[in-house]
Chain A
Amino acid sequence: MTMDRKTIASALGESSLTDTGIGSIDYQAVAVMPDVRVVKIGGQSIMDRGRAALFPILEEIVACRKQGIQVLLLAGGGTRARHIYSVASELELPTGVLAKLGSYVPIQNARMLQMLLAKHGGIFISVDDFEKLPLYMQLGCIPIMNGMPPFGYWEKRGDDGRIPPHRTDAGVFLSAEFLGCTRAIFIKDEDGLYTDDPKKKPDAELIRRISAGELLARDLPDLIVERVCVEYLPRARWLRELQVVNGLRPGEVTRALHGEDNGTIITR
């Protein structure tokens, strides 16, 4: 009795698929949509402030879109996400369940953004609509989606507790990296990255520019973007910089969308 594998000859042959080697293949990466600006609208930092914070930011985004800048918005969660994480942690629910729970609040926020931007071409998109981005961009639309990556129940527990390590900042990072963008933009309510939480430690110092390696080496107790973003940056193929800007200061969003180096730049 023969018990051969019926294989298709290919460069990966019978190798284990999670091997790091790629055999004889000369990999030359193709950028998918490198001109898109992938932009996070913070949850706690922007959405939970309501109209006063959000409306001026949206005005700037709409004006930039009319100038031809392609913008993809990803929504953060905020205080309602913190509430569900808090209750679910008390119940000792696993990280994968928390990740699923955590995706509902950013979806609400994305829908709110869509209602506000509808008259300017705002479209709510789901993960499955991502492959239609070229259409939305060519029509001049502003697609808006949930910032949480779709890992859901498959989110791994991290080193620092039960909260999912990949949340809405990670979704911005990974969306930008997939599209082949060199920079991801995070709109928050601080001027950038500080040496500690500036809302609690008034003497925390602003860091204008720092490399991911330096930042990880400092081992700061707090960060303005999710730790996985800083950890992934050195091994990203396309992304070179993470930019954090203060959406509460007029003009900062516009400058960032035009490619200026305002706010904090975390470099590869």
Chain B
Amino acid sequence: MSKLVTGDGRTHVESSLMRESLQDRDVLGRTDSDHDLQIFPDVALVSIGGQSIFDRGREALLPLADELAGLMKRHRLVIGVGGGTRVRHTASIALDLGLPVGGIAQLVGAMEELNAIMLNALLSRHGAMTMQRDHFWDLPLYLNSGITPICISIPPYHLWEPPPEEGNLPAHGSDFGLFQLADVLAFKQLIYVKDVDGMYDRDPKKDDGARLIRHATLDELTDAEGHLRQADSVLDKQLFWAWKRARNIKRIQIVNGLVRGQLTAALDGHDAGTVLVKE
């Protein structure tokens, strides 16, 4: 039983952290372990890129929606969506206006909502429903009823987006947001659907010599701090920083949503696209 402790002018609740400074490294270290509780270990998260898929319209979306409709019957899925070119337009106007980084972070989620609604319109007859991203405690209700939730990806940092290490854009983007969701909930799979065959060592749209990375470990891709070694990446750099410190996610796949069957192969556990692993 916890009890109240007084005597130093404060009233404490007895606990292992009572009276302690939560800035003290030794105290913080005592809260640590190599393991996080696994909350939803049988769910897969599929991210549908904004610029890479949604901005291509029906030619990219209809076949992918068809593939998803089939997969939703066989897998317990959550679908996350990006925002794409409207997000970039929002940010470029906001930068020209001189809005703070938190102001830009506040604005972009609305452009992802649009893609969530559109994808939901395509998939609702197969059992999809949009879900507020922080309502995931309702997941058993959705998944046990055969419903696949669709949510936006950007993390809810809003006006409180931390100052970026470089530049004036929010560092915590959509890929990172979905990574955090998947890691906190200990999802069994995390698959990013883009319009390239996976992760390249350079931007394949700008550089013909870019090499596709079929398989890589997190340690090969990042330095000891979790900073990505290569300059360009198909996934947010913050994702790699967070992954370095995370406890749950061991494998991330990036597949080409323009090639039918890649997502299916990945969800069925095959090595499609790029496979990144944490050892």
A226 at the B interface (CB under 8 A)? yes
A82 at the B interface (CB under 8 A)? yes
B window 155-198: CB within 8 A of A: 155-174, 176-177, 180-181, 183-184, 186
**Given A20-B167, A158-B245, A13:B88 Cβ within 8 A:** yes
The stretch that binds A, out of B53-61, B117-125, B138-146, B208-216, is B53-61
The stretch that binds B, out of A64-72, A87-95, A112-120, is A87-95
Q: Is the interface of B mostly helix, strand, loop or mixed?
A: loop
Contacts of B167 in A (CB 8 A): 19-22
CA of A91 to CA of B92 in the docked complex: distance in angstroms?
44
B74 at the A interface (CB under 8 A)? no
* Range, interface on chain B: 35 or more
Interface bits A224-260 vs B (CB < 8 Å: 1, else 0): 1111100010011110000000000000000000000
Contacts of B28 in A (CB 8 A): 158, 160-163
The stretch that binds A, out of B64-72, B235-243, B260-268, B270-278, is B235-243
Q: Are A30 and B97 in contact (CB under 8 A)?
A: yes
B7 at the A interface (CB under 8 A)? no
The stretch that binds B, out of A135-143, A172-180, A205-213, is A172-180
**Given A161-B28, A162-B32, A152:B102 Cβ within 8 A:** no
Q: Which residue of A lies closest to B180 (CB)?
A: A154
CA of A5 to CA of B245 in the docked complex: distance in angstroms?
35
**Given A22-B169, A174-B162, A4:B56 Cβ within 8 A:** yes
B window 89-104: CB within 8 A of A: 89, 91-93, 95-103
CA of A157 to CA of B30 in the docked complex: distance in angstroms?
14
Contacts of B166 in A (CB 8 A): 20
CA of A235 to CA of B166 in the docked complex: distance in angstroms?
8
CA of A232 to CA of B166 in the docked complex: distance in angstroms?
12
CA of A2 to CA of B57 in the docked complex: distance in angstroms?
11
Q: Are B29 and A160 in contact (CB under 8 A)?
A: yes
A window 1-19: CB within 8 A of B: 1-8, 10-19
CA of A155 to CA of B169 in the docked complex: distance in angstroms?
19
Instruction: Select which of A14, A32, A158 is within 8 A of B103 by beta carbon.
Output: A32
Contacts of B17 in A (CB 8 A): 82-83, 85-86
Q: Are A162 and B31 in contact (CB under 8 A)?
A: yes
A217 at the B interface (CB under 8 A)? no
Contacts of A223 in B (CB 8 A): 21, 23
Q: Are B163 and A236 in contact (CB under 8 A)?
A: yes
A130 at the B interface (CB under 8 A)? yes
Q: Are B241 and A156 in contact (CB under 8 A)?
A: yes
Could you pull out 12 A-B pairs where Cβ atoms are within 8 angstroms? A5-B55, A10-B88, A21-B167, A26-B96, A30-B97, A44-B19, A48-B12, A89-B31, A93-B37, A97-B39, A153-B134, A156-B180
- A residues sitting closer than 8 Å to B (CB atoms) are 1-8, 10-23, 25-30, 32, 44, 48-50, 52-53, 79-80, 82-83, 85-87, 89, 91-97, 127, 130, 149-163, 166-167, 171, 174-175, 177-178, 180, 189, 197, 199, 221-228, 232, 235-238
With contacts A53-B9, A86-B16, A235-B165 known, what are 15 further pairs, Cβ within 8 A? A14-B85, A18-B169, A20-B165, A20-B169, A82-B15, A82-B17, A96-B180, A127-B158, A153-B181, A158-B28, A163-B31, A174-B160, A197-B21, A221-B25, A224-B23
